[in-house]
Structure 1
Amino acid sequence: MAMSSRAAQFAVLAVLLALSALGGWVALDLRMEGDLSATLEGESVTYQRFHRFEEVFGEVGQDVVLAVEADDLGAPESFAAFEDLLIELQLTEGVTGVISVFSLPDPEAPSTPFLRRPAIADLPPAERLERMLDELPMSADLLAADRSLTLVTVIPDRSIPVTDRAGPLEDGLATAEGPITVNRVGLSRLQLGVAQALTQNQLVLIPIANVLSNLLALLLFRSWRAAVVCAIPPVVALTWALGLQTARGIPMDPIVTMVPTILMVLAFADCVHLYHAISKKAAHLPVDRAVSEAVSESWPALFLTTFTTALAFLSLLLVGSPTLNTLADLGAIGLAIAFAAVFLTVPPLARLVLTSPMKQQSFHFTPVRRAAGAALRHRRAVGLGGMGLLAVLVALSTRTEPGYDMNQHIPTGSDFSATLDRVEAALPGSDRLYVVVAAADPAPGVQEADRARLAAVGSVLYDGAIALPSDVDASSELMRRVAAEDGSAFALPLSAPLGSDGAGTQAYARDISARLDDAGLSEVTEITGYSLMSYIEIRRLVQELRVAFYLAVACVAVLSAVLMRSVRLAIASFVPNLIPILAVEGWLVLTNTPLTLTGAIALTVAFGIAVDDTIHLMNRLRIARRTLPGPQAIEAALDAAVPPVVITSIILVTGFSVSFFSQLPAIGIFAGLVTSAVTLACLADLFLFPSLLAWATEKEDNR
């Protein structure tokens, strides 16, 4: 019979691991996506304005922007190498046009580039470039004043897949030699860098987090058996979740990339709770019975922790963003998968590797138990202090400011980041804004009325006239980017400083808008751009996320009242769940740090995780109250809950902390906010929650 039982356990594990291998194999085709634009899709005025701009003037996000650098591009050797590069790029497969300083039209003959003006053709390159900087105000956006750097925009053939045109373009760039160097900047390069950073997260950081969590389990439980039981289920959950995501065709983007770490770490925490319950039972019961009783006692709490965290994810469905809706979907389904993986994998593993009687783990966290017990003995003062702290934090949270910082999405330490810094220093800015001017005469081409209106706008934007040919040449990429083919509008580019502070893109846009309004041109112009649209839309999403967060809090409060059949117990559990989140938010307020999209998502998810310790303590109280009166039951529940709560908090903090080393600052910020909330939740549940429970149960007992 024993052999038959062991064979059955092996069979179950074999099936589960086979499904895990299948999920891992499918996940090999998981696509990395660095474009965040799907996050911002919606019906808002700002998004639709940018969407219309790209429909009329082209998808600027797919352009390849190059920073060409030299000691002096006006030196004959550098100038010649630069011209050779431009010719090579124009002949490259998959390239439909190249925009550079050679594309800027001559005011005297708009159909001819300024640098090809016959009167200056024989001048040395340095003098030709200086003449251009003096006579064409727009040129300062493309060429540095010291002639050390210039920008080139390569417009791709969008009928050719990105992967097919990447090789020829790289070959064309490789021809750059001698005195010039070429580096990619712009949105397409940013998205490529983000995708590479996401790959690093999945292939390096998540395995490291898993290894560290296992080492912690080995250290804290002093048992290789504990490490085995706790190590395998998170891997099973991760491969199943990633395999399903890949099969559904959902790419890994900068928002969704948070899900695998969350699933793995939470699955590991559930394993710790279940293993701890099994080990306590196995100290005096046969392993098979210990497993059965531990599962029976633990599954309600683990189901509720999974449900509340899934509820936090599902609250994101209330936000009008396709990417956040996908995050809600993957998070909730992934948590269900993790719950199933833990309860399908831990029992057979435990029955195979554990023996009875089991030696209890070495770490009992006696100092923590004593400190928590001391706080419980001063329950009235602690409870009042906790309620007072909550009131202060609620007041502080009303001062939270939503914000957006594009730098959070730029991979650190990359060549892109370094090049972007040089572009930002050499030019008016590395970002791009576009002033869309409605045509004064809707006839195709540039009519006299259009020319007068563009001259007025140009005097505001560039302090000079704008040279445009009379006819819009459909073969000219520059003209297609400036003039709509149907003659309805014109798009004038502006360099803008990258950033979200007072000197950033949005501040520059406000200044331009004010100047256009003073000139009486606000009715015929509108300003757009990817970063500007992102700034406005992400602030809106952050505000919607805050509403979703409070709705999630309300749902959890109602759920707690129903499950506990007590409004007082629900209120008692509500306080330690909310304090950690509001404390982190309060810190942002005190440090004048805006709440970004990453931060808003982190706090929403962290709330779902923070509830976990509260639920486990309530589950221990439920079990203790079967045999002990109220005050003693609370003490017994606290005593039993300290080891698993502390251990899982340490594991959660360790698992998420690995993300600090992500190349994407946003991922590190997410990890920092979640780990801070998890730490504060552990402290609140052990040192505040028992006092509130005593208050709630005393009132109930007196009735």
Structure 2
Amino acid sequence: MKPLRFLHLKLIALFVFCIAVALSPHIPDITYRSEITDYFREDNPEVKNFHNLEADFGVQQSLLILLHSQTGTLLSEQGISNLFTITSKIQALDGVERIQSLLSTAISNNQQDTRSLYRHIKDGGDLSDPILGQLADNVSNSSLLSKNGTVASLQIHFADTEQIETLYPLIRSTLDAAFTTPGLGEVHMLGPVEIKHALHHALMHDGFYLMPLVLITGLGVLWYFLRSWWLVVSGATSIIIALWLTAGIVGLLKLTINQTSALAFCIAFIIALADIIHLLMSFTHQRPDLPPQTAMLNALRSNFMSLFLTSLTTGIGFLSLNGSSSPVFATFGNIAAIGVACAFISAISITSAMAVWRQTNARNQEPDLFQRWSLAINAGRTRLKAYHYGLFYLITIALSCCVFLNDYHNDPLDYFESDSPIINASTLSETEFGIHHPITVQLNSNHRDGIFTPEFLHALNGFESWLDAHPMVSRHNSYSSVLTQLKRHLYQGNLKWSASPNQSSELADLWNLYEMASPDNTAETLGLDKHFQSAVISLGIPKLSSTQLLQLQSDINQWFTNNAPAIKISVTGHAILFASIGKQLTSNMFIGGLLSAMVISLLIGVFLRNMRIGVLSLIPNLFPAGVVYGLWGTSVGVIDIAAAGTLSISLGIVVDDTIHILKRYIGFRESGLPPQLSIEKTFEEVGAALMLTTFILSLGMMVLTLSIFGPNQTTAILMASIIVVALIYDFIMLPDLLERCDGWLFSNYKLRATTPAAQLQ
């Protein structure tokens, strides 16, 4: 029967391989996106506001360029000429709709002709001192030019967002050729398009560097503990087929990945490696006189249920991310759950079939380092006194309470390394303009030409006065402020005419003058929709916490409720999205993690036929996460969506060790062994394997901390920490709980008496 059963195993392996081949054509169907809004559901009102603003005004698909001069102020004849050359070359690119810069500012010549500075230069006008003086006055309190004149900004808007990926390198090369290479200064980029580019760069970095590093590290670990190149080849083949299967299924489901969800393939690789080593270590420790196929079948029999249950609980932990209401984290969880299932199937079939093809010298190894450590730790645990455990539990509870020291904060710019180009650009923006994030406030009058009404103008002017006094707003700009500047220049800077327009006719006249100043001047460039129903106010804010951002949003909404209830407003931007929706996602992820822990506890009780064991397993599995998040609160103190999502992921993984211990322990107790001896024999059998898998998982996670993408780093650091701490609690807390609660756990069992010889087997 045994050869037949192994023949079935080989047929299963062949079937798995054929499925992988059949799914191969679907792998190219995996699509990639790096849109920052993909982290949130499309039906969320905040996301709808964001996309509506993008559709109406195009402000979200823009690229902000900061030109940092090293040759002096840009507010000079030479500086303006260089800026004109750069703007002209970029504007000539097919797909660039418009560029807003200090060249867009309207100026008046000696004949009182008003036109944009760009049009003035293009028509051959000179850059006399009066012209430069007007320009300096226009940009004195704007984000177009820094106070010292060494940093100028250009905001590029695109006619077709599909062409942005093609235009980006062309714009970069134009800037390098016209500004960087001649030694005029440095170029820095910000804005939604640059964030998208930085996200794509993070994915490429992790794909080209981390995946090979994880692979090399994994194969090195395999060889070190198995000391057989053939077993390494068997394990590597199994991992490749598992990832092959995963990619094929993901493509078949047409899932979309980004720099976060792509990390699921790395995690699936690490878990597959742990499964394989667990199985092959059991195979190599079978009696040397057994035939290879028999030894492998014995290894499968002793590990199948544990591997199956651990794969099931790990998959549930990942699937719980679907409750986060974040498409990216839901996709991450689904891919990882698929990878865990494929890793299990591949391990018990491909690995088992390949490992016995060739005779290896890895059978019946002497106790290794982890075996010796496991026995030493268990021996040390038995010498602990009651007050030792009391102190241990007290420290555990105290550290877990430190979870409340964490504050919620979610800033998309924190996702990038401190020395990355986008952070350098952000630092320059904060230093020169006081702007860390832009925020857009859209005001909707609810009827055509509504922005020209006195009521709307009165509300707008009052709101801008309120913004002037708000401590959380560095700068703001609207169509009213631009037209007010234009009016002042018409009257040669006379302060008598510096008041904001408050009459419909005056505003209409100024709009006509603005439109005639340049053919590039449109309603959209002024922040208006084509029906003159809505207007946007651009806010520049310093670096704020998420709580402060939400307070600012609430203050703005409250101002309009009190002063202009007829105007419909929306406050949006990347910072607002991550502050408002991210808080909800964080809460959902924590709740999802706790629910998955309960489901896992129920499954443990069902599969181990003891629901009380399932309930007890919650304690040593939840406390490690509590301790790590408590330490995180005392050191970092910030919880974002990545840190919250790690709870669900880690719970499914750390429960693996608990399952192996409980399965063996219940078996020994049912056979009649007393609690202390059952624990001792349990750790003799599985202690080394638990330490080994913990080492593998934590090592793999530590490799992932080398990611240049912040959420991936956070996930890897927290997971590695929780996995290590969980092993400590499985070695100290779980045995103590099993001994103390033995009467309650096994009150419904009729323990079978066995002979001393049987007890020692």
Q: TM-score, normalised to structure 1's length?
A: 0.88
Q: How do 1:157-172 residues align onto structure 2 when only pairs under 5 Å count?
A: 157-158=159-160, 160-166=162-168, 168-170=170-172, 172=174
Q: CA deviation at 1:454?
A: 3.3
Is 1:251 aligned to residue 256 of structure 2?
yes
Is the CA contact (8 Å cut-off) linking 1:233 and 1:342 kept in structure 2? yes
Is the CA contact (8 Å cut-off) linking 1:26 and 1:247 kept in structure 2? yes
Partner-residue secondary structure (3-state), 2:535:
strand
Distance 1:297 1:394 in 2: 36
Distance 1:312 1:4 in 2: 36
Q: Which moved more, 1:233-242 or 1:245-254?
A: 245-254
Give the fraction of aligned pairs with identical amino acids, expressed as a percent: 19
Q: CA deviation at 1:258?
A: 2.3
Paired letter, 1:76 = E
Distance 1:599 1:371 in 2: 31
Q: CA deviation at 1:321?
A: 2.4
Partner of residue 633, structure 2:
589
Match 1:655 to one of 677, 697, 700:
700
Q: How do 1:517-536 residues align onto structure 2 when only pairs under 5 Å count?
A: 520=563, 524=567, 525-536=569-580
Is 1:65 aligned to residue 64 of structure 2?
yes
Distance 1:495 1:396 in 2: 35
Q: CA deviation at 1:702?
A: 6.0
Paired letter, 1:691 = D
Is the CA contact (8 Å cut-off) linking 2:445 and 2:451 kept in structure 1? no
Q: CA deviation at 1:86?
A: 1.1
Is the CA contact (8 Å cut-off) linking 2:694 and 2:723 kept in structure 1? yes
Is 1:497 aligned to residue 497 of structure 2?
no
Is the CA contact (8 Å cut-off) linking 1:57 and 1:482 kept in structure 2? yes
Partner-residue secondary structure (3-state), 1:662:
coil
Match 1:610 to one of 636, 648, 654:
654
Q: How do 1:216-231 residues align onto structure 2 when only pairs under 5 Å count?
A: 216-231=221-236
Distance 1:294 1:7 in 2: 16
Q: TM-score, normalised to structure 2's length?
A: 0.82
Distance 2:556 2:671 in 1: 73
Q: How do 1:412-491 residues align onto structure 2 when only pairs under 5 Å count?
A: 412-439=418-445, 442-443=448-449, 446-447=452-453, 449-461=455-467, 466-468=481-483, 469-470=510-511, 476=521, 479-480=524-525, 482-491=527-536
Q: How do 1:205-604 residues align onto structure 2 when only pairs under 5 Å count?
A: 205-355=210-360, 358-365=363-370, 366-376=372-382, 378=384, 388=394, 391-392=397-398, 395-398=401-404, 400-439=406-445, 442-443=448-449, 446-447=452-453, 449-461=455-467, 466-468=481-483, 469-470=510-511, 476=521, 479-480=524-525, 482-498=527-543, 500=545, 516=559, 520=563, 524=567, 525-591=569-635, 593-604=637-648
CA RMSD of aligned residues (A): 3.7
The Cα offsets for residues 44-65 of structure 1, whole Å up to 9 and x where unpaired, read as 443333233223222x332122
Q: CA deviation at 1:255?
A: 2.5
Is the CA contact (8 Å cut-off) linking 1:220 and 1:362 kept in structure 2? no
Q: CA deviation at 1:617?
A: 1.4
Q: Which moved more, 1:16-25 or 1:520-529?
A: 16-25
Distance 2:255 2:692 in 1: 34
Is the CA contact (8 Å cut-off) linking 2:6 and 2:293 kept in structure 1? no
Match 1:668 to one of 695, 701, 713:
713
Q: How do 1:125-164 residues align onto structure 2 when only pairs under 5 Å count?
A: 128=131, 131-136=134-139, 139-158=141-160, 160-164=162-166
Paired letter, 2:721 = S
Q: CA deviation at 1:518?
A: 11
Q: Measured at CA, do residues 135 and 104 of structure 1 come closer, stay the same or move farther in structure 2, by a change above 3 Å? A: closer
Distance 1:301 1:426 in 2: 59
Q: Measured at CA, do residues 218 and 367 of structure 1 come closer, stay the same or move farther in structure 2, by a change above 3 Å? A: same
Partner-residue secondary structure (3-state), 1:358:
coil
Partner-residue secondary structure (3-state), 2:585:
helix
Q: CA deviation at 1:602?
A: 1.2
Distance 1:250 1:194 in 2: 18
Q: Measured at CA, do residues 8 and 513 of structure 1 come closer, stay the same or move farther in structure 2, by a change above 3 Å? A: closer
Is the CA contact (8 Å cut-off) linking 2:401 and 2:630 kept in structure 1? no
Paired letter, 1:672 = I
Q: Measured at CA, do residues 625 and 662 of structure 1 come closer, stay the same or move farther in structure 2, by a change above 3 Å? A: same
Q: Which moved more, 1:295-304 or 1:423-432?
A: 423-432
Q: CA deviation at 1:286?
A: 1.6
Q: CA deviation at 1:500?
A: 3.3
Is the CA contact (8 Å cut-off) linking 2:613 and 2:745 kept in structure 1? no
Paired letter, 2:460 = L
Is the CA contact (8 Å cut-off) linking 1:115 and 1:128 kept in structure 2? no
Q: Measured at CA, do residues 290 and 428 of structure 1 come closer, stay the same or move farther in structure 2, by a change above 3 Å? A: same
Paired letter, 2:92 = L
Is the CA contact (8 Å cut-off) linking 1:433 and 1:494 kept in structure 2? yes
Is the CA contact (8 Å cut-off) linking 1:285 and 1:356 kept in structure 2? no
Partner-residue secondary structure (3-state), 2:145:
coil
The Cα offsets for residues 174-202 of structure 1, whole Å up to 9 and x where unpaired, read as 55243254343212111112112112212
Distance 2:579 2:341 in 1: 34
The Cα offsets for residues 41-98 of structure 1, whole Å up to 9 and x where unpaired, read as 254443333233223222x332122122213212433321110111122221111111
Q: Measured at CA, do residues 444 and 407 of structure 1 come closer, stay the same or move farther in structure 2, by a change above 3 Å? A: closer
The Cα offsets for residues 377-410 of structure 1, whole Å up to 9 and x where unpaired, read as 5486666666555554554445543321323322
Partner-residue secondary structure (3-state), 1:52:
helix
Q: Which moved more, 1:418-427 or 1:581-590?
A: 418-427
Q: Measured at CA, do residues 265 and 501 of structure 1 come closer, stay the same or move farther in structure 2, by a change above 3 Å? A: same
Partner-residue secondary structure (3-state), 1:494:
strand
Q: Measured at CA, do residues 159 and 529 of structure 1 come closer, stay the same or move farther in structure 2, by a change above 3 Å? A: closer
Partner-residue secondary structure (3-state), 1:96:
strand
Distance 1:593 1:324 in 2: 22
Is the CA contact (8 Å cut-off) linking 2:56 and 2:529 kept in structure 1? yes
In structure 2, the gaps of 5 or more residues are 470-476, 484-509, 749-761
Distance 2:526 2:224 in 1: 62
Q: CA deviation at 1:240?
A: 2.2
Q: Which moved more, 1:597-606 or 1:368-377?
A: 368-377
Q: Measured at CA, do residues 326 and 110 of structure 1 come closer, stay the same or move farther in structure 2, by a change above 3 Å? A: farther
Is the CA contact (8 Å cut-off) linking 2:445 and 2:566 kept in structure 1? no
Is the CA contact (8 Å cut-off) linking 1:115 and 1:121 kept in structure 2? no
Q: CA deviation at 1:238?
A: 1.8
How many residues of Structure 1 are paired with residues of Structure 2 in the alignment? 697
Q: Which moved more, 1:303-312 or 1:11-20?
A: 11-20
Q: Measured at CA, do residues 340 and 124 of structure 1 come closer, stay the same or move farther in structure 2, by a change above 3 Å? A: farther
In structure 1, the gaps of 5 or more residues are none
Q: Compare CA radii of gyration and give the structure with the larger one.
A: 2
Partner-residue secondary structure (3-state), 2:142:
helix
Q: CA deviation at 1:668?
A: 1.2
Paired letter, 2:688 = P
Q: CA deviation at 1:636?
A: 0.7
The Cα offsets for residues 10-55 of structure 1, whole Å up to 9 and x where unpaired, read as 9987776676678778656755432221212254443333233223
Q: CA deviation at 1:267?
A: 0.7
